[in-house]
Chain A
């Protein structure tokens, strides 16, 4: 059940340019699933910031979030330190429904700050015995993170926009040359990337996870809606019905 908790930061480290990894205790009786996010209040800010769950360590009873400095809120979050406490609403939103689907080979496609939730997903898929292939895109080599962790899950390919690391270009260039068959893809990243990926993989089954500026983060304010393909006059809420959607369910714009 969703609740508001004060959590003491266990660690707070920089893992790439402008990119931070924060480990928080997982409160009793709270389950976080891949794709879900937590909604974080920051001192001096009116609105909370949504951040995806990047990993859960069931033994240590902790979970991990990863964020990149984009604006005032993430800048404020980057200045917290281990030992300080954070006001967090969790768990928020929908998750990748991997328990209900039959998948043997999963393709993971992540772009920039869309990469973190896919790590926790990939880990769970691997535990289920699913073959995982990951394609990760970043702006440049200085922003790459978690490459080794993804390698531990299966074949992993990295692209950078400026070519300073890995393949020069886009995730779609790599996907084009991949040895399919995959039976599901899972993607998260900036909208232009998601548009390109969902188009390229139109014939495949897939799930995507979305981001939007949020107000409440729990489904009351209608700040975060996305129109539906079958009827663009109807919409779903990214914070409550999402952030995970079936790839062809929504109109990306």
Chain B
């Protein structure tokens, strides 16, 4: 059975890739399995300079998910290009770099710096991180700003650009249209939903940043709904994510309209989540009457 999928700039042997921020730069999980098994790898966010991130505690478990407020900690784009990406070079798996920033200039700088690297195949433009005080998220909630940053990054980059949308908006289709108009090659959705958890004994939020981004199975129905809505309105490739734990979940995203999927939080519970899902996928597709991944994409819209 063919699991292969074609996307702008990406020839995927299967549609499953680890999500940004949940896989570092690949080294750690390469101790658990051969990264060649993956469809692609989305690495941790890169900003212009190194960022320290938020105070700890930065994560908290919730029912069917988790909150995180890492705050985009990363060693900076130069270091990532020089010291992190080369590790992934020997693998036959395309790498997608995640681009973050506080200003349009910073996004453009990161995108330009990534042009120097031959180790990547595409950019994921992160306009949706809910955990940094200035910047990031307002690009993801205001269609005009989203359009501007997408346009500028497209102009600066030699690579295809997938814009990662925030679910913390009332009209996801308007956001999708804005970035599609600005030339986005694809969408990536969804990032985390802003949430909070309060410790009863301490009477204060568990996460030092107070709020954090909710991920995991708790957000899956929202991701599915948003992808479905965008797919109804637009014809643009989508990398879908949000709570994927199983091959059945992958199929659900494909039916909603995703062309490929990313797996985030599940890696923490099971480091082998991605290869196990990939292994299960042919059987699952067959069980529901599909002969390939391509065949299932968008099929949830026909009833």
**Could you tell me which A residues sit within 8 Å of B by CB distance?**
1-4, 41, 45-48, 72-73, 87, 89, 212-227, 233-235, 240
Check A48–B269 contact: CB distance below 8 A: yes
The answer for the CA separation of A215 and B264 in the assembled complex, in Å, is 11
Is B60 close to A, CB under 8 A?
Answer: yes
Interface residues of B in 225-244 (CB under 8 A from A): none
CA distance in complex: A72, B66 (Å): 14
The reply to whether the CB of B62 lies closer than 8 angstroms to some CB of chain A is yes
Between-chain CB contacts (< 8 Å), 24 pairs? A3-B32, A4-B272, A41-B269, A45-B61, A46-B61, A46-B217, A47-B59, A47-B269, A89-B271, A212-B56, A215-B59, A216-B268, A220-B28, A220-B44, A222-B53, A222-B70, A222-B74, A223-B56, A223-B68, A224-B56, A225-B58, A226-B56, A235-B52, A240-B28
Interchain CB contact under 8 A, A2 and B268: no
Interface contact B58-A222, CB-CB below 8 Å: yes
Rounded to whole Å, the gap between the CB of A128 and the closest CB of chain B is: 30
* B22–A223 CB distance below 8 A: no
> Shortest 4 CB-CB distances between A and B: which pairs?
A220-B24, A223-B59, A222-B73, A213-B57
| Cα of A220 to Cα of B30 in the assembled complex, Å | 11
Q: Are A218 and B29 in contact (CB under 8 A)?
A: yes
**Contacting pair B73 A46 (CB below 8 A):** no
Assuming the A-B contacts A218-B271, A221-B22, are A213 and B62 also in contact, with contact meaning beta carbons closer than 8 angstroms in the complex?
A: no
Min CB distance A70 to B, Å, is 10
Are the CB atoms of A214 and B270 closer together than 8 Å? no
* B interface list, Cβ under 8 A from A: 21-24, 27-29, 31-32, 44, 50, 52-53, 56-62, 64-66, 68, 70, 73-74, 216-217, 265, 267-272
The answer on a CB contact under 8 Å between B68 and A218 is: no
Measured between alpha carbons, how far is A233 from B56 in the docked complex, in Å?
14
* Closest A residue by C-beta to B18: A220
Which residues of chain B come closer than 8 Å to A235, judged between CB atoms?
52, 73
Assess the B31–A2 pair: CB atoms within 8 A.
Answer: yes
User: Measured between alpha carbons, how far is A211 from B70 in the docked complex, in Å?
Assistant: 17
On whether the beta carbons of B70 and A46 are closer than 8 Å, the reply is: no
Contacts of B59 in A (CB 8 A): 47, 213-215, 221, 223
Find the residue from A72, A213, A221, A223 having the highest chain B CB count within 10 A. A221
What distance in Å separates the Cβ of A3 from its nearest Cβ neighbour in chain B? 7
- A223 near B28: Cβ-Cβ < 8 Å: no
Residues of chain A with a CB closer than 8 A to B265's CB: 46
| Inter-subunit contact B52/A233 (CB<8 Å) | yes
- Cβ–Cβ < 8 Å partners of A214 in chain B: 59
Given known pairs A4-B32, A46-B64, A233-B52, the reply for A217 and B58 (CB within 8 Å) is no
Complex Cα distance, B32 from A226, in Å, reads 26
Min CB gap B259→A, angstroms: 25
Given contacts A224-B58, A226-B56, 5 further A-B contacts (CB under 8 A): A41-B269, A47-B66, A216-B28, A217-B268, A218-B31
Let me know if B56 and A215 touch, CB within 8 A: no
Which of B28, B53, B66 is close to A225, meaning CB atoms less than 8 Å apart? B53
Structural contact, B62 and A220, CB atoms closer than 8 A? no
Taking a contact as CB atoms under 8 Å apart, the answer to whether B216 and A46 are in contact is yes
- Give A212 to B158 CA distance when docked, in angstroms: 41
Least CB distance, A97 to chain B, in whole angstroms? 21
